[in-house]
Amino acid sequence: MSFPVFTHPACLAHDTGPTHAESPARLAAVTAGLRDTYPDLDWREAPRASRGQLLRVHAESLLHAVLETRPTERIWLDPDTVLSPASAEAGLRAAGAVVAAVELVLNGESKRGFCAVRPPGHHATATAPMGFCLFNSIAVGAAHALDKFGLSRIAIADFDVHHGNGTQAIFDLEPRVVFASSHQMPLYPDSGHVTERGVSNIFNAPLPPGATGAQFRDAWRTRLLPQLDAFRPQLVMISAGFDAHRLDPLAQVQLEAEDFDWITRELVAIADRHADGRVVSSLEGGYDMQGLRESCVAHVGALRG
């Protein structure tokens, strides 16, 4: 099977301003790196997420703020999160990409898929856009898999350097979803302590500033991967943030592209054992263009197998 990558030009039009870390150049670096390295990828246009799909995880008030504000220039929803005239369309396409990838994988058309989209999603809660994020795309996709396909065990792995507080909060009372995250602590959004357990479905592995690839791998090998494996997921979903790379300006974890290759292969192995190989991954953070490009290329290479 060819390897599908979902994206959309609207994701480049989300205008965060000339000095914002979450810029269109991020997605351009990712897509250029993937096209240059893997010329046989199956590029697909991301559809819009529907209102009903979004409402599975988000309140009407959040949809209203993102979709009905209709700004004529950039406005700030919080100190980090921008809404521009084109942002609502970008958010709809980003969430829609994950839904489409879930559909593709669970219908048996492909084992795995990647969503090259922005804005990122994992900080958005049920009620609030935050941390560069408008809709929580990975949560929208997971809820679609639960409701439309009747899955009873979904694993979400998040290796972004910032804790996926929105994803955790959306699913912390949902036993059909296990959420496992490594992230730098202390760091925005100041959540993700090991004591945060949900209904025994939340597993956090904080890393100190300056943590090495060896420390990252040890956290996953000893604390997070065994929990995912024991859960026997029917679908593995990945919040693929690459801001734990050593070059990233927003954090101090010292990973290399090879570390992202390693964790991806470990997650694919769990999917192969329990989920018929099914993995859906979506881009989250990563703010150094070289580190982002190299890490995402390694990640997709590992997904391709």
The per-residue pLDDT for range 124-167, each reduced to its tens digit, is: 999 999 999 999 999 999 999 999 999 999 999 999 999 999 99
**Does the pLDDT of residue 274 top 70, yes or no?**
yes
pLDDT for residue 1: 66
Distance of CA 112 to the CA centre of its chain: 14
- HSE-up (13 A, CA, CB side) for residue 154: 27
Mean pLDDT of 104-121: 98
What confidence tier does 54 reach under pLDDT thresholds 50, 70, 90?
A: very high
Active-site residue, selected from the candidate residues 8, 58, 122, 123? 123
Task: Look up the CATH number of domain 4-304.
Answer: 3.40.800.20
Dmax of the chain from CA atoms?
Answer: 50
pLDDT for residue 128: 98
**Does the pLDDT of residue 2 top 90, yes or no?**
no
DSSP label of 21 = S
DSSP label of 119 = S
DSSP secondary structure string for all residues of 71-139: -SS-EESSSS-EE-TTHHHHHHHHHHHHHHHHHHHHTTS-SEEEE--SS--TT--SS--BTTBSS-HHH
For 294, residues 6+ apart whose C-beta sits below 8 A from its C-beta are 33, 245, 257
**Does the pLDDT of residue 181 top 90, yes or no?**
yes
Mean pLDDT of 242-246: 98
Instruction: Identify which of 27, 30, 21 has the alpha carbon closest to the alpha carbon of residue 9.
Output: 27
Mean pLDDT of 82-86: 98
Cα–Cα distance measured from residue 286 to residue 250, given in angstroms and rounded to the nearest whole number? 9
User: Are residues 238 and 228 in contact, defined by beta-carbon separation less than 8 angstroms?
Assistant: no
H or E stretch covering 6:
strand 4-7
The bridge status of strand 235-240 relative to strand 154-158 is parallel
User: Are residues 137 and 176 in contact, defined by beta-carbon separation less than 8 angstroms?
Assistant: no
H or E stretch covering 297:
helix 289-304
Q: What percent of the chain has pLDDT over 70?
A: 100
User: Are residues 29 and 67 in contact, defined by beta-carbon separation less than 8 angstroms?
Assistant: no
Cα–Cα distance measured from residue 77 to residue 65, given in angstroms and rounded to the nearest whole number? 9
Going from N- to C-terminal start, the domains of the chain cover: 4-304
Cα–Cα distance measured from residue 270 to residue 268, given in angstroms and rounded to the nearest whole number? 5
- 36 SS3 class: helix
HEC string for 180-195: EEEEECCCCCCCCCCC
Active site residue 299: no
User: Are residues 295 and 216 in contact, defined by beta-carbon separation less than 8 angstroms?
Assistant: no
pLDDT, tens digit, 9 for 90 and up, residues 197-209? 999 999 999 999 9
DSSP label of 122 = T
Mean pLDDT of 258-267: 99
H or E stretch covering 5:
strand 4-7
For 52, residues 6+ apart whose C-beta sits below 8 A from its C-beta are none
